[in-house]
Amino acid sequence: MNWTLGNYWYLLLLLLLPLLGIIMVAYLKWKNTKKDVFAEARFQPELFEKKSAFSKILPLLYLLGTLFLIIAIVDVLSGREEVKTKQKMNNVIFLLDVSNSMNAQDVEPNRLDEAKNIIVNTMSKMRNDKVGIVVFAGEATSIMPLTTDFTAVETYIGGVETSIVKLQGTDFLTGMKTVAFKFKDIAKGSRKVVILSDGEDNESNEKSAIKLANKEGITAITVGIGSEEGAPIPEYVFGQLMGYKTDMNGQTVISKRQVNALKNIAAQTGGTYVDGNNLESASSQIIDGLARTSTSSESIVKSQNAIHYYQYFLGVSLFFFLLIFLLNPKKDFNI
């Protein structure tokens, strides 16, 4: 523990101690001189009251009381005050599907923008949580580490497009692996992932993703975006619509929301499935799901104010002066 002095200039007051000692000795000599002037030594026992035993330690009590009073004035400091707080919090990673099917416009303006709006709206309702962003398709990448800076997260989300990931597809396992890696320093039980996708599991590896999530202590809330009727998948080149995706026969591909994989992931990891086609409702349900699985986290906060100990020295000083007051028979200097 680091000990420091507060008002260290007041250490000069310690010079009062020898001065006080000199004054006491001088007073004692003056008093004895006056006694000798008043009467011879052989008459003094009859004329003057005999000194009490307490009077012998009275000077020491005065000096000790003054010493501790000076130390209290100087103010001894140490360390920093530590305050333990308990609060419910979550570490949440939004796992955002950026496969080409998320460009489908069966929800306005399209599935990807709906997912991004849900993330932003959900963060506006969060308290004391940390959030991060991982995007995935056929591969996954983290674009935002866990942070409490929601403004920065919102900025990063605004720039997300399906072209951010080159390898297309929808690989839940790859996404979950990246999420697990981002959670490596987070205690199990505080790990939450919100998966936003249209549910088209092209790799059919939801079971492997579930197994990994359970092994890593990750609770998944899944959000299904898109309609059962589906919509064609736009194809863009440099931001310009060039047509719609077709199959090998030249037929336009209709992408539909598939909820089975999303519901299974949620159910088997202790989370909930949310219909993502209603922005406000989806955000509220995500918040409710996080609240049900939130954990209490104890944190230690060090204040900026040092711990003061002057009150203890002041108490000792007052104790010595109280002894003088209570035990001094004549209630005076009496030395």
Query: Which tens digits make up the pLDDT trace of 77-129?
Result: 555 555 555 556 789 999 999 999 999 999 999 999 999 999 999 999 998 78
Which of these, 205, 210, 202, 197, lies nearest to 282 by C-alpha position? 197
Please answer whether residues 211 and 219 qualify as being in contact, where contact means their C-beta atoms are separated by less than 8 angstroms.
Answer: no
Given this model, what pLDDT does residue 55 score? 66
Given this model, what pLDDT does residue 100 score? 92
Q: How far apart, in whole angstroms, are the C-alpha atoms of residue 211 and residue 264?
A: 11
Given this model, what pLDDT does residue 303 score? 53
Record the tokens describing residue 327, joined without a space: 């035990």
Given pLDDT bands bounded at 50, 70 and 90, which one contains residue 49?
Answer: low
Name the β-bridge partners of 97: 136
Q: Is the pLDDT of residue 334 over 50?
A: no
Given this model, what pLDDT does residue 53 score? 61
- Could you give the percent of the chain with pLDDT greater than 90? 46
Q: Transcribe 211-255 into DSSP letters.
A: HHHHHTTEEEEEEE-S-SS-EE-EEEETTEEEEE-B-TTSPBPEE
Q: How far apart, in whole angstroms, are the C-alpha atoms of residue 259 and residue 274?
A: 10
Given pLDDT bands bounded at 50, 70 and 90, which one contains residue 66?
Answer: confident
One-letter identity of residue 118 = I
pLDDT tens column, 158-186: 999 998 998 888 899 999 999 999 999 88
Q: Which of 54-58, 117-121, 248-252, 294-298 has the lowest mean pLDDT?
A: 294-298
Of residues 132 and 326, more confidently modeled: 132
How far apart are the two ends of the chain, measured CA to CA in Å? Answer: 42
Q: CA distances (Å), 113 to each of 49, 122, 146, 171, 197, in order?
A: 100, 14, 22, 20, 11
Note if the bond before 145 is cis, omega within 30 degrees: no
3-class secondary-structure state, position 328 = coil
CATH class of 85-299: alpha beta
Give me the residue spans of the domains in the chain. Answer: 3-80+305-327, 85-299
* Nearby residues of 106 by Cβ (< 8 Å), 6 or more positions away: 226, 227, 229, 230, 231, 257
Given pLDDT bands bounded at 50, 70 and 90, which one contains residue 136?
Answer: very high
Given this model, what pLDDT does residue 286 score? 95
Mean pLDDT of the chain: 83
Please answer whether residues 61 and 322 qualify as being in contact, where contact means their C-beta atoms are separated by less than 8 angstroms.
Answer: no
Given this model, what pLDDT does residue 248 score? 86
**Strand-by-strand arrangement of the 307-308 sheet:** 3-5, 76-78, 307-308
pLDDT tens column, 222-274: 999 999 899 999 988 877 888 898 888 889 999 999 999 999 999 999 999 99
- Average pLDDT rounded to a whole number, residues 136-140: 93
- Could you give the percent of the chain with pLDDT greater than 70? 79
Given pLDDT bands bounded at 50, 70 and 90, which one contains residue 131?
Answer: very high
Which of these, 209, 200, 315, lies nearest to 259 by C-alpha position? 200
Q: Is residue 30 within a helix (H) or strand (E), and if so which, with residue range?
A: helix 16-38
Burial-class residue 289 by CB neighbours within 10 Å (0-12, 13-18, 19+). buried
Q: Where are the beta strands (DSSP E) in the chain?
A: 3-5, 76-78, 82-89, 91-97, 130-136, 140-147, 191-197, 218-224, 231-232, 234-237, 240-244, 254-255, 273-275, 295-302, 307-308
Of residues 6 and 319, more confidently modeled: 319
Of residues 14 and 134, more confidently modeled: 134
Given this model, what pLDDT does residue 115 score? 96
Helix 54-74 crosses helix 16-38 at what angle (to 10 degrees)?
160
Given pLDDT bands bounded at 50, 70 and 90, which one contains residue 149?
Answer: very high
Of residues 321 and 81, more confidently modeled: 321
Q: Is the pLDDT of residue 292 over 90?
A: no
